[in-house]
Amino acid sequence: MSLLVPFDQYAWPMKNKEHRPYSHQKETTVFVLRNKRAFILNDLGTGKTLSALWAADFLMLNSKIKKVLISSPLSTLKSVWGNEIFFNFMHRKCAVAHGRRDEREYAIRSKVDFVIINHDGLITMEQELIREKFDVMIIDELTYFKNHKTERYKSAKKIADKCKAVWGMTAEPTPNSPIEAYAQAKLVNDSNPFLPPLFTKYRDMVEEKITTHMSMPRLGAEKLVHKILQPSIRFERDKCVDIPACQYIDLEIPMTEGQRKAYEQMRKQLVIEYENGLITAANAAVKAMKLAQVAAGWVKDDEGNVHELDSSIRLDELFSIYENTHRGKLVVFTAFRAAVEGVNAYFKNKGLVTDFIHGNVSANKRAALINDFQNGNLNTLVIQPQSTSHGVTLTAADTVVWHSLLPSGEVFNQANGRITRIGQTHKQTIICMVGCQAERRIRTILNNKGSMSKGTLELFADPRQEDFTAS
């Protein structure tokens, strides 16, 4: 059947009419058009979102599909997917299924081209989404579905199985372990002949037991990951997008006398004494994070109350970094919610136009703050990284400071990717504040997890596909 709009006549709609797609974006679009079940593994900041939307738009123009479901993290519902559709695809309608249940039901049933819903919304709206009979399901940040035992995965699988096409998107499918690929592969393309039918079988193929509670990847595990995540396409950012270089700096920050005293108490005795009681750590993992909280300057007691320590050295260094940013914009990531609000209050006292984002900030407000940071007068944005680590664009800044760190390579890389992406025209600097042994150990963990997934990703570096029908 001939196409109503031949591919060579496609308009590639974009907000800025003077801009044209990068060649890798066009190749990605063509790739998913040719593969109903596919993985888009392009690097952070390479414009995966637009490629998926162009493919869907092209199919709609040619009457091949009618309605698309987009599942994304809460932080990107409106600020990324909603905005991309609104500004680039003026001829298309979209609805965001978020809020009260009746509002979500109305959005799902509405006569629109795209319905956008957050990942956990798939659980509560599972039956409604199945009944609506979407043609295509686009799953953003596919690693949210790396555990096949979760309700989130189970709902997504039921919905995906009813769709004609499923496109899964992530820049790093196995940030921690090769076993994370199994559920993602099964969700997107469970007909892959290299995908073992049982998780236990797959686990034994890619990991070996070291102790009762510890495993390590088997030699060659990355090759099996490569085979089960097919068909796939991957472009590395540095090879396809002209973005200035990024430098990483570990900045040693001495603790104040009060911090050192509290730190030593916790390190030696698993307890901090304070005026009204005790702060204790039940085990080594909790102890490590309590020590990191001390270094950050805000620590929770056993009742959940927050105690502020004198962290003036670290805060003053933050302000100094801001003063030396030539664009007057700074993104600060800090792992602890109390620290997010504390750092923001410090900046406000310094006279800066500042605000913050953590898990309690609504999706609407997050979108508004991100827009104000990108296009308005907001000087600093203080963020708990789990809240905006995926998909969000913060290229108005070229400097990121990690006021306190999390031992998650995935969150670390994703959060840094907010400034190292298409649209960035300046050299970027990522600064990690470290002031104690606990924070140095976290930095080591982040470096090790980064190298863990590197070998797997290198197998996807060439976008030309192998023939996996052969053994």
What is the structure's pLDDT at 40?
Answer: 97
Torsion, Cα of 195, 196, 197, 201 (10° steps): -150
Return the axis-axis angle of helices 257-269 and 284-296, rounded to nearest 10°. Answer: 180
SS3 443: helix
Report DSSP state, residue 42: P
Q: Is the pLDDT of residue 458 over 80?
A: no
Q: What is the pLDDT of residues 139-189, one digit of tens each?
A: 999 999 999 999 999 999 999 999 999 999 998 899 889 999 999 999 999
Assess whether the previous peptide bond of 254 is cis (omega < 30° from 0): no
Q: Please answer whether residues 218 and 207 qualify as being in contact, where contact means their C-beta atoms are separated by less than 8 angstroms.
A: yes
Q: Greater confidence, 340 or 468?
A: 340
Residue that is written with structure tokens 């996996």 in the block: 468
For residue 240, pLDDT over 90 is answered with no
Lowest mean pLDDT among 263-272, 316-325, 383-392, 403-412: 263-272
- What's the token pair of residue 449? 């997890």
* Confidence bin at 51 (pLDDT 50/70/90): very high
Among residues of the chain, what percentage have pLDDT more than 70? Answer: 91
Q: What pLDDT is recorded for position 451?
A: 55
Return the CATH number of 246-455, one of 3.90.220.20, 3.40.50.2300, 3.40.50.720, 3.40.50.300. 3.40.50.300
**Does pLDDT of 37 surpass 90?**
yes
Distance from C-alpha of 163 to C-alpha of 196, rounded to nearest angstrom: 22
For residues 82-100, average pLDDT: 94
The answer, yes or no, to whether residue 306 has pLDDT greater than 70, is yes
Average pLDDT over all residues of the chain: 87
CA atoms within 13 A on the CB side of 136: 28
**Which positions ≥6 away from 248 have C-beta within 8 Å?**
430, 432
Q: Is the pLDDT reported for residue 274 higher than 70? A: no
Residue 67 CA to residue 425 CA, distance in Å, equals 36
Looking at residue 119, its pLDDT comes to 97
Work out the average pLDDT over 41-64.
93
Q: Is the pLDDT of residue 352 over 50?
A: yes
Q: How much is the pLDDT for 468?
A: 36
β-pairing, 298-300 vs 306-308, is: antiparallel
Here the tokens at position 275 are 């005026």
**pLDDT tens, position by position, 1-33:** 467 888 889 999 998 776 789 899 999 999 999
In this prediction the pTM is: 0.73
**pLDDT score recorded for residue 470:** 37
Question: How far apart are alpha carbons 298 and 305 in whole angstroms?
Answer: 10
DSSP 77: I
Q: What is the mean pLDDT of residues 103-117?
A: 97
Q: Is the pLDDT at 339 greater than 50, yes or no?
A: yes
Beta-carbon count within 10 A of 6 CB: 9
Q: Are the C-beta atoms of residues 266 and 290 closer than 8 Å to each other?
A: yes
Give start-end residues of each CATH 3.40.50.10810 domain in the chain. Answer: 7-241
**In the beta sheet, which residues pair with residue 274?**
277
Q: Which comes out higher in pLDDT, residue 48 or 408?
A: 48
CATH number for the domain running over 7-241: 3.40.50.10810
Q: pLDDT value at position 420?
A: 76
Q: How confident is the model at residue 426 (pLDDT cuts 50, 70, 90)?
A: confident
| CATH 3.40.50.300 domain position(s) in the chain | 246-455
Residue 137 has pLDDT above 50, yes or no: yes
CB neighbours of 453 closer than 8 A, spacing ≥ 6? 172, 174, 175, 176, 409
The predicted pLDDT at position 67 comes to: 98
CB atoms within 10 A of CB 331: 24
